Structures are given as C-alpha cells and as structure tokens.
C-alpha cells in the first residue's frame, strides 16, 4: 500500500526548487505549518529523514534526501505527463514546457521556438530558464525544467544527449579588416590583431585558451558580458572577436556592418544538444521542441 501522497512529493520538490520552507509554502499555496507537516508525514511514510532542520528555518538535504530527490523528479514528471495526456485527449500537445537554455543560444533558439508553439500548440504554456551551462544543468537536475539546450562540451556526463546539429566557431570582423575578404580564417592568422572578448563562461575561457595556443598573447582591448556591446565594438573597428553565434542580420546594434567568417580549424565544430535526465521519458511537448530545434539548427547559421 502506498502511504505517501502526490501533494507531499510536490511539497518536497518545492523545497528543493526554492531552498526554503517559507518560499515553498507560497509556491504551493499552503501555510508553512501545513507544508512542514506534509514533509514530516512523507518522512514518516518513508521511514527516513529527508532534511536537516536548521535554526534559520532553512532545510538542507540529508544523503538519503539527496538520493530520494532524483527519484521524485522522475515520478513527478511522469505524473504530470499522465495528467496532461488525460486532459488533452483529442489534442496533440499541451501542458507546461519548462526548458533551460545556455544564454548565448537563447536569442537565436527560444523566440522562434516560442513562435512555433504559439502558432501550432496554443495549449502549451512556456517557461524558459536562461543562464550558464552550470546554472541550467542545476535547473535540470533539480527538476525545475525538463530539458536544457546547450553545447555538449559544456555539460557534464550522466545526462541523456539528443543531438540537434553542429556548427563552427566564427570570427567576427569589421568590413575593413585585412582578413575580411577570406572565405575562412585560421587562428594563426589572428595572432597580431587586437581582439575584444565576450566575458561569459565558458566561451571566454575557451576563446582565451584558443588564441594563446595560436600565438595571440595580448589582452583583449575590451571585455563585456553583453554580446551586443561586443558586436558594436567589432563593427567600430576595435578588434575581432571569436563567437559561437552568428545572428541572421550581420549588423551591430547601432546598424554598422559586421563580417562573419568560419574558423578553418576543423577541431572547432561544436555540437548543440538537448539534454534530459536519464530514465525520464520525453513528454510530447518536449519531443516537439526537440524536432523543431533540430530543424532550426540545420537551417540556421548559429
């Protein structure tokens, strides 16, 4: 006989996602006392302690709680899919699509994905989470989202990888640059030219290491966390930049032209993947997102 309830599992998951009983109670629309009682009943039903109670009222997982959290994520996702399937009888796709995305990929992928679902699957609500590879991977492992879009080389092992396609790194140059007329550019050719750097990990470390390996030891003339600032700096002739994303419009934010050239170094092709947790089946909405993103990557110069 099953002694734990779905509501208790939801309380547990809410604490994981918010980090405190107070915030979790608000998310679950229940009093803090009611949530705490539900967690205690869950521990009694399982005969294990899930959380360490602290004077600050924060809750931290015990080793048993940490192991249990991986199972809860899978169970709740499958229950959600079961509920969505029953509610959407006669409809193709419905429910809430919670998707994480590496922040440098999101401007190219997420708006078009949102448009696709809005036009074709209006019963799907979208929740996007953007950030660094580590941040969105944490979102996936905690159950905050059901899949993440990232470069395969930037996420850790233990996940299920669904390949969307691959593309090279690009060199962005001002039109008057001495190398702007070449079909492709080798990193060795860039050593003597000034560069600007997007200050976002992991691309900043990747680019810095690549340039140093090929003889460019000077510091960047300018760094910024904004891709549009970097693009504008390139367009104004401050230096080249190495980028993993090529926007469809080769203009800077202030309307100046930029030239993009692929790196001729064959080892710089990067694979884009949709990652999911092992043992968790893909929902119909996530399957639709996967197929659309495959098409998008294959037809877009990311």
CATH number of the domain within which 200 lies: 3.40.190.10
Asked if pLDDT for residue 93 goes beyond 80, the answer is no
Q: Do 26 and 56 sit in the same domain of this protein?
A: yes
Domain assignment present for 24: yes
Domain assignment present for 225: yes
Residue 57: which region, alpha, beta or left (left: phi > 0; alpha: psi -120 to 50)?
Answer: left
pLDDT, tens digit, for every residue of 250-279?
Answer: 888 888 999 999 887 645 667 899 999 988
- pLDDT for the residue numbered 89: 45
Phi, psi at residue 123, to the nearest 5°?
-80, 0
Asked if pLDDT for residue 101 goes beyond 90, the answer is yes
Q: Do 182 and 135 sit in the same domain of this protein?
A: no
pLDDT, tens digit, for every residue of 195-207?
Answer: 999 988 778 888 8
Q: Do 227 and 213 sit in the same domain of this protein?
A: yes
- Placement of tokens 């299920």 in the chain: 160
Nearest residue to 169 via CA among 267, 52, 56 = 267
Q: Do 68 and 138 sit in the same domain of this protein?
A: no
**Number of residues that make up the chain:** 302
Domain assignment present for 231: yes
Q: Do 280 and 232 sit in the same domain of this protein?
A: no
- DSSP line for 17-40: HHSBHHHHHHHHTS-HHHHHHHHH
The DSSP bridge pattern shows strands 147-151 and 95-102 to be parallel
Most confident of 102-106, 140-144, 208-212, 290-294: 290-294
Q: Do 215 and 196 sit in the same domain of this protein?
A: yes
Q: Do 158 and 174 sit in the same domain of this protein?
A: no
Asked if pLDDT for residue 51 goes beyond 50, the answer is yes
We report the CATH number of the domain holding residue 50 as: 1.10.10.10
Q: Do 107 and 189 sit in the same domain of this protein?
A: no
Q: Do 178 and 257 sit in the same domain of this protein?
A: yes
Burial of 272 (0-12, 13-18, 19+ CB in 10 A): buried
Domain assignment present for 281: yes
List residues bridging with 61 in a β-sheet. 51
Range of the domain at 159: 88-167+270-299
pTM to 2 decimals? Answer: 0.62
Q: What percent of the chain has a predicted confidence (pLDDT) above 90?
A: 33
Domain total for the chain? 3
- pLDDT for the residue numbered 84: 62
- Placement of tokens 């709680």 in the chain: 65
């Amino acid at each position: 006989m099953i002694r734990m309830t779905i509501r208790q599992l939801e309380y547990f998951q809410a604490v994981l996602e918010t980090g405190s009983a107070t915030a979790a109670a608000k998310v679950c629309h229940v009093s803090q006392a009611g949530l705490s009682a539900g967690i205690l009943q869950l521990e009694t039903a399982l005969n294990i302690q899930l959380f360490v109670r602290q004077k600050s009222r924060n809750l931290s997982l015990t080793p048993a709680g940490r192991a249990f959290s991986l199972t809860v994520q899978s169970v709740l996702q499958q229950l959600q899919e079961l509920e969505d399937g029953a509610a959407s009888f006669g409809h193709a796709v419905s429910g809430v699509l919670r998707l994480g995305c590496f922040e440098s990929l999101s401007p190219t992928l997420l708006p078009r994905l949102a448009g696709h679902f809005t036009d074709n699957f209006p019963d799907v609500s979208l929740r996007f989470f953007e950030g660094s590879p580590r941040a969105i991977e944490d979102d996936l492992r905690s159950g905050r989202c059901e899949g993440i879009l990232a470069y395969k080389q930037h996420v850790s092992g233990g996940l299920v990888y669904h390949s969307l396609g691959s593309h090279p790194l690009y060199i962005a140059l001002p039109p008057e640059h001495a190398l702007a007329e070449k079909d492709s550019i080798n990193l060795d050719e860039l050593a003597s030219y000034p560069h600007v750097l997007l200050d976002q990990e992991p691309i900043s470390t990747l680019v810095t290491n690549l340039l140093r390996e090929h003889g460019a030891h000077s510091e960047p003339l300018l760094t910024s966390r904004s891709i549009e600032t970097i693009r504008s700096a390139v367009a104004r002739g401050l230096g080249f930049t190495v980028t993993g994303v090529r926007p469809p419009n080769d203009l800077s934010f202030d309307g100046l032209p930029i030239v993009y050239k692929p790196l001729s170094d064959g080892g710089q092709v990067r694979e884009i993947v949709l990652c999911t947790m092992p043992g968790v089946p893909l929902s119909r909405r996530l399957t639709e997102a996967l197929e659309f993103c495959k098409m998008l990557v294959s037809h877009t110069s990311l």
